[in-house]
Structure 1
């Protein structure tokens, strides 16, 4: 059965959703600003879809990715349509792109990293 225009658009949106390519916990990282969870190589290649001023796509800056993401997070929630999701409202993340998000960042964020997050106007997810 062929897809209608609305169905095709929904499928295209899901395909663009940044889902972790590797679900092994040791390879997953969460953005310190928005809590988006992806594999390290995805952050290196694509940056952060929510925070392009923090982790720019296509730069391949692994050192910056390691500084502004963490493997120390708890819980995981997936949001396909954040604007329509009760989970997104509960997490106050309806403005974020579809994807998988950490429920809590457990890492102690170094002061220099916090200063840069604040200077970019993002702050940490807990703030």
Structure 2
């Protein structure tokens, strides 16, 4: 008879072992998409990195629409939603904001409708932006 049995195992270890045995090996998991259109959209958004922050440092939010990008991205492209693309991004953006919303399909998203973002470009948006323009 074995010394290791159900009662000698650390708590919940048997649940972990059972769940782990049902998982596919790493590297063999493929994302599941409900529609082919969703798969194409994911690739499109991955390619459009100018509206998705490239890192989590030096983030700024547009004071007008709330689009969140890095300082370098705002300097290079301005805000894709607003007409202030040629203006100084430091005057039209703020580093003080709260919450993040990631929109991949604003025209179909109930969150976009609730936040009045349904006519904006795909990207990351701040829920609340603090600050004002220096003009």
TM (norm. structure 2) is 0.65
Equivalent residue pairs, number = 101
- Counterpart position of 2:116: 92
RCO comparison, higher one (Cα < 8 Å, 6+): 1
Distance (whole Å) between structure 2 residues aligned to residue 78 and residue 69 of structure 1: 18
Distance (whole Å) between structure 1 residues aligned to residue 133 and residue 39 of structure 2: 44
- Counterpart position of 2:53: 20
Deviation of 1:104 (Å): 0.3
**1:58-96, CA deviations, whole angstroms, 9 ceiling, x for partnerless residues?**
xxx6xx110010001111110000000011011011000
Deviation of 1:110 (Å): 4.5
Q: 1:55 aligns with which of 79, 85, 90?
A: 85
Matched, 1:77 2:101: yes
CA contact (8 A) 2:91 2:133 kept: no
Q: 1:29 aligns with which of 52, 57, 60?
A: 60
Q: Secondary structure at the match of 2:107?
A: helix
Distance (whole Å) between structure 2 residues aligned to residue 38 and residue 47 of structure 1: 9
Distance (whole Å) between structure 1 residues aligned to residue 133 and residue 92 of structure 2: 10
Kindly name which structure, 1 or 2, has the bigger radius of gyration based on alpha carbons.
Answer: 2
The structure carrying a bigger helix percent of its residues is 1
CA contact (8 A) 2:53 2:68 kept: yes
Q: Secondary structure at the match of 1:84?
A: coil
Distance (whole Å) between structure 1 residues aligned to residue 68 and residue 38 of structure 2: 26
Give unmatched runs, 5+ long, in structure 2: 1-34
Distance (whole Å) between structure 1 residues aligned to residue 120 and residue 77 of structure 2: 16
**1:89-125, CA deviations, whole angstroms, 9 ceiling, x for partnerless residues?**
1101100000000000122x1463xxxxxxxxxxxxx
